Structure 1
Amino acid sequence: MSRRGFVLGGAGMLAGLPGCGRLPWRSVVPEVSRPGMEAGHMLRDAGAIPAPSGEVRAGTVILGSGIAALSAAWKLARAGRKDFLVLSGPEFSGNAAGGRFGDLPYPCGAHYLPLPSLESSHVREMLADLGVILRGAQTARPYFDERCIVHAPDERLYFRGSWQDGFMPSQGLSPEEAQEHKHFLDLVQDLKTRRGNDGRKLFAVPVALSSRDPAWTALDGKTFRTWLLEQGYRSATLHWYLDYVCRDEYGARHDKISAWAGLHYFASRGGQAENASDGAVLTWPDGLQALARGLKERILQVHPAAFMDGMAMRLDETAGGVEVLCLQAEGASRRALRIRADRAISAMPLFVASRIADLRRFGFDARDHLPSYAPWTVANFLMDGFPPEDAGVPLAWDNVVYQGRGLGYVVSTHQDLRVAMPPKTVFSAYHALSARDPAQVRDWLAKCGTEELFEEVAGDLQQVYGWQLRRFIEAVSITVRGHAMASPLPGYLSNRGLQALRETDGRVLFAHADLSGYSVFEEAAWWGVRAAERILG
């Protein structure tokens, strides 16, 4: 973790704003966190690891502590198993991580979960166990804890100088543009109920339950933008919206993402609730960290010694099971442990797993089968009060800027049920750095200064609030993820390496959202539960 102080609104930032030097700018020390980067570079560069100083035994060792790992451990604990060990890795909960400014929590990763559809029965079971679903977990319309359902206003778009309700541009459109928007929405509404020649829904979550009808999977051979143009969609506002969706969901632009994946986003989910409108989402002040924390609590209730600090540096099969070399770090000191187990669940991203084990013997060759990974940032701004808003729709839970640099910002205190606005809040700004090649972006992220990084991640907020923004910022915490998520580029459905890992059922099992080709809670949980079910027989 690195820290560099600078004055927000310093002389270089105030150029062109006469008289602004007399305003009360705040001096802050931005905090930049790069979880897993040091350990990842050690793996990449084959850094020296000390000889093991001890040994631990377990029935099953789970490598990682993201949602896939936690889901596997939760499933094992639900079955009463106490012979497993979760190796936490460099960051507990991974893309579901969270943080705090004092008593104000905020997300460092994913911030919401759509209402789970009937196909996502594993998620419904989990939410019922965590008290998020209060009744009817496997019915068409479960009843959810209303504190978790996003409150209105839920989303707005800063479009052509004013705020409008919803993310899809709707104000001042030509009749032709409005008709294109309607035609696309009608199409995806129809696709939600369509089935392929194998009887399955064309698009489902988890992806593994989607139809493999070749007439539709052929869409995976082209980009989403190409398919849209072939279908006659020309509207600039529609293309911006669909590009935004791809950057938000997949970390890459719609001219890079598979057409099948582009349609999957819209047509796969259909979760409903007895006490929420269709299309509602579940959210918490610290995002999905709330679910990760709940899963850990449930696991510890059954198995108090389930978690161990450390990161897997090597995974090998042996005559009697598996052996894991674990590196533990405390400050500047490091020590290694050997973990012997009957079986292992590799719940790490595949770019990490391919460094600690020879995945070619499972049918996965990183040179040919490794997904493309999108770099992301999540910047949390502690706000001392709320900046004044322009006319239009009031401040919402999720706020997006048309043609903005980032993906907008979420208000962490939005779910607060108090009538009055709290004195402080957190704006969480999301940014998929998709304008350049991911490798180029990772190189820039490794070299850029804190001030340069701040200017990038604060772009949407500065566009909305202008110079007034800096009068309200009290602290800034920026989380940088160089390999945040796999992006489903054309051909990902037919990736033979991913298919091989999905089917592996031996001493080593694989469980990660990477197996689905993109990173969302439901997919990670699916593979974690599946791996645990194989352990349980």
Structure 2
Amino acid sequence: MLRRSFLVWGGMAGLAAAGSVAGFQRWQEITPVLHYPGRDEGHFLRDRKALPPPSEVIDTDIAILGSGVAGLTAAWKLNKLGKTDMLMIDGPQAYGNAAGGAFGDLAYPTGAHYLPLPSPESVHVREILADLGIIQQDAFGDKPYYDERFILHAPEERLLHDGHWQEGFMPTEGVPQWELDEHARFFKEVERLRQLHGADGRRVFVFPTVMSSEDPVWTALDRITLKAWLEQNGYRSPTLHWYLNYCCRDDYGTRYDQVSAWAGLHYYCSRWGKAANANDGTWLTWPGGLQPLVRGMERASGIERRAGTCISLKKTASGVEALCFRLEAGKPATYLVRARKAICAMPTYVAARVVENIAGYGFDPAQHIPEYAPWLVANFLLKRFPDELPGQPLSWDNVVYSEPGLGFVVSTHQDIRVRPPEKTVFSAYVALSDRTAVNARRWMVAASPEELLALACADLKTAYGAQFAACVERVDITLRGHAMSVPWPNFRSNAGMKALREVDGSILFAHADLSGFSVFEEAAWWGYRAATLAAK
């Protein structure tokens, strides 16, 4: 954690002079907090520095190495199967990409912040939600009944386009009719693809992805980019291209001219869950993003969590041994975990360094490790709400027609109050998709706090001008250098990932990487599968 100070402009009450010198009436000093989850542990693991001998040996039946969605799903399912002798090693950050934080009683996300209503094939997700009481009735029916506190409230989303806010993310106001016709044609095609089955009888696009059709007619989509698919099918609308590029950056961390067309279409065609008490296509969300959900899974599992990161995992005659370490004042302390089975719930670029002879499982790190997209999430504690531009009112998700920003989410949106709270948190997301992943990581390490802040608040300055700074009380910035694996073309034919998916032994693998992209449904699926195998 690094703490630096930067200066922000303040003192402007309205938008009339937002861009003028008159708007900058005084300087305010703010102390931002920069978080680099996993950076120190990752560098320690990479550099293979000397370690002291273990100070403790812990015996358990099942060790779960990683506390993200996959690991917590495994723990939850093992408990459901009657397996309670288990231990979870957190990894570099508790809850991984589902982590969150809080300014006092104002919770906020530092990673994923929503979950689409699960479609009928996502039985594993529905089972989790029903067990936690989020689905209250008819969990496996066509239209389950959800706890209304967690269904996204209106207004849901808006877009700042041509100087004013409009409802929804697809630009429509002032857009020529021929572009609107293309929008309609694209979404009509999405509806067709949602219902389509391949020659093997499977639906073409499904969560979990391993249940999707393997019909070559449709798997061929994985050999081209989404942009190429759009061009091949005669889609020329600039606003449609912007929208689909935005969605790829939002879901996969990179641009649509780099994402597999199969993955790009899967984004739309697999998400069609319904609810008895909500509109089609809505989301579930919490002020703290997905952290309240995974904490509920943790409580339901009853698992013991231990701080630390696995640095070596190997098979033994009786099971497995996991050497783990934690940094205390910059110095490592180690302990050894012995178990009958281990669930390796960590990204594959980490597992490649941790699992002894991972090549023996059919995974070649030189060929099979995917590219990872870096992300930046900035949480702005506001002492008051800024004045709004005309158009659609402040919504849960607020996007600016630009790049590389992804807009901002309002943490207090789900609150049910007579009047808005005095304070709130705006969570701004940035996928550094305007540069290569390697260059983005280098920039993140070298950038000054001022540079990081400038990128983090770019969309907010566009939306609110100079007045925004006067509303800010504190800023926390979380930087994830390897936030999510990128589904480049041919990602579905990654032989190494296929090999790890099929492993059944004393070491089991469970992570969204096995599917090729980082979403809750996929991570949960591999945790669910690993638990059923580990319980044997």
Q: TM > 0.5 between the two?
A: yes
Following superposition, the deviation at residue 60 of structure 1 comes to 1.1
> What do residues 113-153 of structure 1 show as CA deviations (whole Å, max 9, x unaligned)?
00011111111110111111111111110100000001000
Q: What amino acid is aligned across from residue 512 of structure 2 in structure 1?
A: A
- In the alignment, does 2:70 pair up with 1:65? no
Residue matched to 1:3: 3
Cα RMSD (Å) of the superposition? Answer: 1.4
Residue matched to 2:14: none
**Gap change, CA 1:255 and 1:404, over 3 Å in 2:** closer
Farther off after superposition, 327-336 or 182-191? 327-336
Residue matched to 1:91: 93
**Does the Cα contact within 8 Å between 2:67 and 2:96 map onto a contact in 1?**
yes
Q: How many corresponding residue pairs? A: 529
Residue matched to 1:291: 293
Aligned with residue 187 of structure 1, among 189, 204, 219: 189
Aligned with residue 249 of structure 1, among 248, 251, 256: 251
- In the alignment, does 2:502 pair up with 1:515? no
Aligned with residue 155 of structure 1, among 154, 157, 163: 157
- In the alignment, does 2:55 pair up with 1:53? yes
> What do residues 10-46 of structure 1 show as CA deviations (whole Å, max 9, x unaligned)?
9xxx9984234424x4321000100001101111111
Residue matched to 2:440: 441
Aligned with residue 332 of structure 2, among 334, 340, 344: 334
Residue matched to 1:22: 25
2:181, 2:173 → 1: CA distance? 13
Q: What amino acid is aligned across from residue 22 of structure 1 in structure 2?
A: Q
Q: What amino acid is aligned across from residue 99 of structure 2 in structure 1?
A: A
- Runs of 4+ more than 2 Å apart: 14-23, 328-334
**Does the Cα contact within 8 Å between 2:404 and 2:433 map onto a contact in 1?**
no
Residue matched to 1:81: 83
Residue matched to 2:199: 197
- Say which SS state the counterpart of residue 192 (structure 1) adopts: helix
- In the alignment, does 2:108 pair up with 1:129? no
1:15, 1:473 → 2: CA distance? 16
Residue matched to 2:267: 265
**Does the Cα contact within 8 Å between 1:26 and 1:474 map onto a contact in 2?**
no
2:98, 2:296 → 1: CA distance? 12
Q: What amino acid is aligned across from residue 121 of structure 1 in structure 2?
A: V
> What do residues 272-299 of structure 1 show as CA deviations (whole Å, max 9, x unaligned)?
0000000110000001001111011112
1:169, 1:527 → 2: CA distance? 37
2:25, 2:280 → 1: CA distance? 49
Following superposition, the deviation at residue 308 of structure 1 comes to 1.5
**Does the Cα contact within 8 Å between 2:115 and 2:520 map onto a contact in 1?**
yes
> What do residues 88-130 of structure 1 show as CA deviations (whole Å, max 9, x unaligned)?
1121100000000111000010000000111111111101111
Residue matched to 2:364: 365
Q: What amino acid is aligned across from residue 174 of structure 1 in structure 2?
A: P
Following superposition, the deviation at residue 419 of structure 1 comes to 2.2
**Does the Cα contact within 8 Å between 1:379 and 1:457 map onto a contact in 2?**
yes
Residue matched to 2:217: 215
Q: What amino acid is aligned across from residue 310 of structure 1 in structure 2?
A: G
**Gap change, CA 1:16 and 1:430, over 3 Å in 2:** closer
Residue matched to 2:476: 477
- In the alignment, does 2:354 pair up with 1:356? yes
**Does the Cα contact within 8 Å between 2:151 and 2:282 map onto a contact in 1?**
yes
- Say which SS state the counterpart of residue 233 (structure 1) adopts: coil
Q: What amino acid is aligned across from residue 487 of structure 2 in structure 1?
A: P
Farther off after superposition, 42-51 or 182-191? 42-51
Residue matched to 1:31: 33
**Does the Cα contact within 8 Å between 1:405 and 1:460 map onto a contact in 2?**
no
- Say which SS state the counterpart of residue 105 (structure 1) adopts: strand
Following superposition, the deviation at residue 499 of structure 1 comes to 0.2
- Say which SS state the counterpart of residue 379 (structure 2) adopts: strand
Q: What amino acid is aligned across from residue 39 of structure 2 in structure 1?
A: M
1:368, 1:297 → 2: CA distance? 38
Following superposition, the deviation at residue 328 of structure 1 comes to 2.4
Residue matched to 1:528: 527
Residue matched to 1:422: 421
Unaligned stretches of 5+ residues in structure 2: 11-16
Residue matched to 1:382: 381
Aligned with residue 344 of structure 1, among 335, 342, 345: 342
Q: What amino acid is aligned across from residue 371 of structure 2 in structure 1?
A: S
- Identity among equivalent positions (%) equals 53
2:18, 2:54 → 1: CA distance? 57
2:122, 2:522 → 1: CA distance? 9
- Say which SS state the counterpart of residue 141 (structure 1) adopts: coil
2:447, 2:265 → 1: CA distance? 36
Q: What amino acid is aligned across from residue 344 of structure 2 in structure 1?
A: S
2:320, 2:442 → 1: CA distance? 36
Aligned with residue 308 of structure 1, among 306, 313, 316: 306
> What do residues 293-312 of structure 1 show as CA deviations (whole Å, max 9, x unaligned)?
10111122xx5xx2222110
**Does the Cα contact within 8 Å between 1:405 and 1:459 map onto a contact in 2?**
no
1:428, 1:508 → 2: CA distance? 38
- Say which SS state the counterpart of residue 38 (structure 1) adopts: helix
**Does the Cα contact within 8 Å between 2:373 and 2:431 map onto a contact in 1?**
yes
**Does the Cα contact within 8 Å between 2:378 and 2:429 map onto a contact in 1?**
yes
**Does the Cα contact within 8 Å between 2:222 and 2:263 map onto a contact in 1?**
yes
- Say which SS state the counterpart of residue 126 (structure 2) adopts: helix
Following superposition, the deviation at residue 70 of structure 1 comes to 0.2
